[in-house]
Structure 1
Amino acid sequence: MTPSDYAFLRKFLKERSGLDLSSDKQYLVESRLIPLARAGGLPGIAELVARLKGGSDPLTAAVVEAMTTNETFFFRDRIPFNHLRETIFPALARARANRRALRIWCAAASTGQEPYSIAMSVKEFAGLGGWRVEIIATDLSQAVLEKAKAGIFSQFEVQRGLPIQMLVKYFTQTGELWQLNADIRAMVEHRQLNLLQDFSHLGMFDVIFCRNVLIYFDHDTKVGIFDRLARVLEPDGVLALGAAESVVGMSDAFRPYPDKRGLYRPNAAPTARAAKETMPALKLIASAR
């Protein structure tokens, strides 16, 4: 791969997915894109880059998906799911007692283990029995979303983090594969979404899981995403980040949840800014009348 081809791919991937590749990741790009190029009938990276420079091409999405990391497993890191059971669900059950409904967003949901872990956690929490709980799972890759929708996992996948009692309770074995029961699959709605784009159309949420994806973005991209996440999170809602992620020293859109590592609450500032930005439009409407 020539330096100019690598420079183009770094810029291309950052614009399309937010992936911020350092200058020493050329080996990673080659290992993932050379097989893709050859599968598409191209000799190598140079020809692939030429196709991408040509404009709209079916290979565009394939290149982005090939470079996307989809590492995930059930109840990953465990602590956020303990927080759900011990802190988040009890607090929201009290706060939403009249509404008896929750909306949860799992961003960068990959092949489904995380949103399905959330769904099983909802099922296991008695205080939400009979409630309407909507779980939206989004990802940049349509391919992983299709796998997630099927809810079919290998023996290796169900052995990673999934308690045996939940495997027996919520899965059915078919040969060497395990399929998640229909009632759990029905709790999750899968949608393709790029976090770099507007996501206000998803509506407001009580809980947002945005874990282990922001580490791949540069500072400015993270700040922008944090600000937009705050705008779709209820004032008393909760944001859960990955173990290596934090808003501290980066954004004033959130503040740490007291004594709960990885959890954050929205600050009033982003909402106030949003309201302030709408004031000129409201004044114009008023003057027009």
Structure 2
Amino acid sequence: MTSDYEFLRKLLKESSGLDLSTDKQYLVESRLMPLARRAGLPGIAELVAKIKSGSDALTSDVVEAMTTNETFFFRDKLPFDHLREELLPALVQARAGRRSLRIWSAASSTGQEPYSIAMCVKEFAALAGWRIEIIATDLSQAVLEKSRAGIFSQFEVQRGLPIQMLVKYFAQVGELWQLNADIRAMVQHRQLNLLQDFSHLGTFDVIFCRNVMIYFDQDTKAGIFDRLARVLEPDGGLALGAAESVLGISDAFKPYPDRRGLYHPNPARAARAGAASAMKAVAAR
């Protein structure tokens, strides 16, 4: 393994949490060679040298090029079924007094996930007149800008989006499709690194954190799960990707029965945390 590859592995781990194994050198070359050429550099070695010389902009471009932004509307279908059939009906009853919901799409990429959530909410008649906040966050500013625009290609809208929703919620603009303003207005976009503190976002009723944990090592996953548990309401739900699980990593969440990939905060863990806080407060007096 070359020293340049080891440098890039360390850089990506520290800046984004991406944990590249030793056999992924081909992936670095395929994604970073086009970036090197755009920067007028002949190869990866020169790219690394320029980063080492203090090019913050190039460092940011490397992280953006290496973090995967594969996504499509209603990806994996199951989490959106859980949202419609399990989470929203329960939350409509539990939040009837305040008539508001907050939903977070972490690692939201180019917007297909938060906008799929927005369309689910829009279709849910019992939520008419409620205040709905959907927060979409991603490490990459470029994908957030694309998401804000809400403009998608024919290929993108054909991936997972039911035709009736395309007709109902999109307008054709030449060969592209733009989401209607009312759906776009339901989603707020913010740049965020999941490795950093996100308590300032406030608390949520539902969190979608899908297809991002697979890139982190076990300790990083455990830390993020712990912090997610702190910003999720006790009766809220956490949706993970099809290849992800909290089991064997953290006791901060428990699986919903018969709802694969859906979790709720572990009340026993929360009770222990509360007791520990109370003991600290007593000791500090």
| TM over 0.5, shorter chain | yes
Report the alpha carbon displacement of residue 37 of structure 1 after superposing the two structures with TM.
1.2
Report the alpha carbon displacement of residue 244 of structure 1 after superposing the two structures with TM.
0.6
Cα distance 1:165–1:14, how it changes in 2: closer, same or farther (>3 A)? same
Report the alpha carbon displacement of residue 133 of structure 1 after superposing the two structures with TM.
0.7
Please provide the CA RMSD for this pair: 1.5
Q: Paired residue for 1:181? A: 180
Aligned pairs for 1:38-57 (under 5 A) are 38-57=37-56
Q: Distance in 2 between matches of 1:269 and 1:69?
A: 35
1:27 aligns with 2:26: yes
Tell me, which stretches of 5 or more residues in structure 2 are unaligned? none
One-letter identity of the residue aligned with 1:155: Q
Report the alpha carbon displacement of residue 35 of structure 1 after superposing the two structures with TM.
1.3
Q: Distance in 1 between matches of 2:260 and 2:75?
A: 15
One-letter identity of the residue aligned with 2:164: Q
One-letter identity of the residue aligned with 1:262: G
Cα distance 1:203–1:277, how it changes in 2: closer, same or farther (>3 A)? farther
Report the alpha carbon displacement of residue 50 of structure 1 after superposing the two structures with TM.
1.4
1:117 aligns with 2:155: no
Q: Paired residue for 1:59? A: 58
Q: Distance in 2 between matches of 1:3 and 1:272?
A: 48
Report the alpha carbon displacement of residue 280 of structure 1 after superposing the two structures with TM.
7.1
Report the alpha carbon displacement of residue 41 of structure 1 after superposing the two structures with TM.
1.7
Q: Distance in 1 between matches of 2:279 and 2:254?
A: 29
Q: Are the aligned partners of 1:108 and 1:139 in contact in 2 as well (CA < 8 Å)? A: yes
Q: Distance in 2 between matches of 1:76 and 1:166?
A: 15
Q: Are the aligned partners of 1:230 and 1:270 in contact in 2 as well (CA < 8 Å)? A: no
Q: Are the aligned partners of 1:5 and 1:49 in contact in 2 as well (CA < 8 Å)? A: yes
Q: Distance in 1 between matches of 2:48 and 2:273?
A: 40
Report the alpha carbon displacement of residue 48 of structure 1 after superposing the two structures with TM.
1.2
1:239 aligns with 2:231: no
Q: Distance in 1 between matches of 2:60 and 2:273?
A: 33
TM-score by length of 2: 0.96
Q: Distance in 2 between matches of 1:283 and 1:202?
A: 29
Aligned pairs for 1:250-269 (under 5 A) are 250-269=249-268
User: What secondary structure is seen at the aligned counterpart in 1 of 2:56?
Assistant: coil
One-letter identity of the residue aligned with 1:215: I
Report the alpha carbon displacement of residue 57 of structure 1 after superposing the two structures with TM.
1.9
Aligned pairs for 1:143-222 (under 5 A) are 143-222=142-221
Q: Paired residue for 1:93? A: 92
User: What secondary structure is seen at the aligned counterpart in 2 of 1:51?
Assistant: helix
Cα distance 1:239–1:165, how it changes in 2: closer, same or farther (>3 A)? same
One-letter identity of the residue aligned with 2:248: G
User: What secondary structure is seen at the aligned counterpart in 1 of 2:142?
Assistant: helix
Q: Distance in 2 between matches of 1:270 and 1:42?
A: 51
The alignment-based identity, stated in percent, is 79
Q: Are the aligned partners of 1:205 and 1:233 in contact in 2 as well (CA < 8 Å)? A: yes
Report the alpha carbon displacement of residue 272 of structure 1 after superposing the two structures with TM.
3.9
User: What secondary structure is seen at the aligned counterpart in 1 of 2:117?
Assistant: helix
TM-score by length of 1: 0.95
Q: Distance in 1 between matches of 2:103 and 2:129?
A: 16
Q: Paired residue for 2:15? A: 16
For residues 140-165 of structure 1, what are the alpha-carbon distances to aligned partners after superposition, in whole Å with 9 as ceiling and x for unaligned?
00000000000000000000000000
Report the alpha carbon displacement of residue 54 of structure 1 after superposing the two structures with TM.
2.6
Q: Paired residue for 1:141? A: 140
Q: Distance in 2 between matches of 1:192 and 1:235?
A: 26
Report the more deviating stretch, 71-80 or 266-275.
266-275
Q: Paired residue for 1:3? A: 2
Q: Distance in 1 between matches of 2:103 and 2:119?
A: 13
1:70 aligns with 2:86: no
Q: Distance in 2 between matches of 1:194 and 1:124?
A: 31
Report the alpha carbon displacement of residue 91 of structure 1 after superposing the two structures with TM.
0.4
Q: Paired residue for 1:104? A: 103
User: What secondary structure is seen at the aligned counterpart in 1 of 2:59?
Assistant: helix
Q: Distance in 2 between matches of 1:270 and 1:40?
A: 49
Q: Distance in 2 between matches of 1:270 and 1:59?
A: 42
1:229 aligns with 2:228: yes
Query: How many correspondences in the alignment?
Result: 285
User: What secondary structure is seen at the aligned counterpart in 1 of 2:92?
Assistant: helix
One-letter identity of the residue aligned with 1:109: S
Q: Distance in 2 between matches of 1:140 and 1:205?
A: 19
